[in-house]
Chains A and B, each alone.
Chain A
Amino acid sequence: MTHTFYDEMYLANGECRSHYREFTRWLADTPSDLLAQRRREADLLFHRAGITFTLYGDDQGTERLIPFDIIPRSIPASEWRIVERGCIQRVQALNLFLTDIYHDQRILKAGIIPPEQVLANEGYQLAMQGLDLHRNIYSHISGVDLVRDGDGSYYVLEDNLRTPSGVSYMLEDRKMMMRLFPELFAAQRVAPINHYPDMLLDTLKSSSPMENPTVVVLTPGRFNSAYFEHAFLAREMGVELVQGADLFVRDDKVYMRTTAGAKPVDVIYRRLDDAFLDPLAFNPDSMLGVPGLLASYRSGNVVLANAVGTGVADDKSIYPYVDEMIRFYLAEEPILKNVPTWQCRKPKDLSHVLANLPDLVVKETQGSGGYGMLVGPASTKAQIEEFRARLIARPEAYIAQPTLSLSTCPTFVENGIAPRHIDLRPFVLSGRETRLVPGGLTRVALREGSLVVNSSQGGGTKDTWIVGD
Chain B
Amino acid sequence: MLSTTASNLYWMSRYLERAENLARMLEVSYSLSLMPQDDHGNGLDELAMPLIITGTLDEYLEQHGEMHAERMLNFFGLDANNPASIYCCLQAARTNAHAVRGRITADMWENINASWLEVRDIAQQGIARYGISHFCEWVKERSHLFRGATFGTIMRGEAYRFIRLGTFIERADNTLRLLDARYELLGEDIDEIEGRSARSYYQWTALLRALSSFEAFAEIYRGSPGARKVSELLLLRTEVPRSLRSCTEELYSMLTSLPGDNGRPAQRLAAELEARLRYTTIDEVLDEGLHTWLNDLILLIRELGQAIHSSYLEVA
Contacts and interface: CB of A to CB of B under 8 A. Distances in A.
A266 to B, nearest CB: 16
Contacts of B5: 240-241
Contacts of B117: 47-48
Contacts of A231: 101-102
B6 A241 contact: no
A212 interface: no
Contact of B260 (A234, A240, A243, A259): A259
Contacts of B253: none
A285 interface: no
Interface in A219-277: 222, 228, 230-232, 234-235, 240-243, 245-246, 256-261
Contacts of B162: 259
B102 A48 contact: no
Contacts of B98: 50, 222
B6 to A, nearest CB: 5
Interface string B293-316: 000000000000000000011011
Given A50-B101, A222-B99, A235-B103, A257 B2 contact: yes
A224 to B, nearest CB: 12
A49 B259 CA distance: 32
A260 B313 CA distance: 10
Contacts of B100: 241
Contacts of B312: 259
Given A257-B315, A257-B316, A48 B110 contact: yes
Interface in B96-129: 98-103, 106, 109-110, 113-114, 117
A241 B102 CA distance: 7
Given A49-B110, A257-B316, A235 B102 contact: yes
Contacts, number: 69
A232 B102 contact: yes
Interface size class of B (residues with CB under 8 A): 20 to 34
Given A258-B1, A260-B260, A234 B102 contact: yes
Nearest to B259: A260
B262 A260 contact: yes
A232 B258 CA distance: 26
A49 B99 CA distance: 14
A352 to B, nearest CB: 49
Contacts of A47: 117
B232 interface: no
Please indicate which of the listed interface residues A50, A245, A246 has the most CB atoms of chain B within 10 Å of its own CB.
Answer: A50
A258 B2 contact: yes
Contacts of A49: 106, 109-110, 113
Contacts of A241: 5, 100, 102-103
Given A48-B110, A48-B114, A48-B117, A242 B2 contact: yes
A22 B6 CA distance: 49
A340 to B, nearest CB: 43
A259 B314 CA distance: 8
A187 to B, nearest CB: 27
A259 B102 contact: no
Interface in B63-110: 98-103, 106, 109-110
Given A260-B260, A261-B315, A246 B102 contact: no
Interface residues of A, number: 23
Contact of B2 (A228, A230, A240): A240
Given A240-B2, A241-B102, A259 B110 contact: no
A260 B312 CA distance: 7
Interface in B161-193: 162
Contacts of A240: 1-2, 5
Nearest to B315: A257
Contacts of B4: 243, 245-246, 257
B194 interface: no
B158 interface: yes
A259 B7 CA distance: 9
A50 B109 contact: yes
B303 to A, nearest CB: 19
Contacts of B258: 259
A245 B8 CA distance: 14
Contacts of B263: 259
Query: Which of B1, B102, B109 has the most CB atoms of chain A within a 10 A radius of its CB?
Result: B102
Given A50-B101, A234-B102, A258 B110 contact: no
19 contacts: A47-B117, A48-B114, A222-B99, A231-B101, A235-B103, A240-B1, A240-B2, A240-B5, A241-B102, A246-B3, A257-B316, A258-B1, A258-B3, A259-B6, A259-B312, A260-B1, A260-B262, A261-B260, A261-B262
Given A222-B99, A258-B1, A261-B315, 10 more contacts: A231-B102, A240-B1, A240-B5, A245-B4, A256-B2, A258-B2, A258-B3, A259-B1, A259-B3, A259-B260
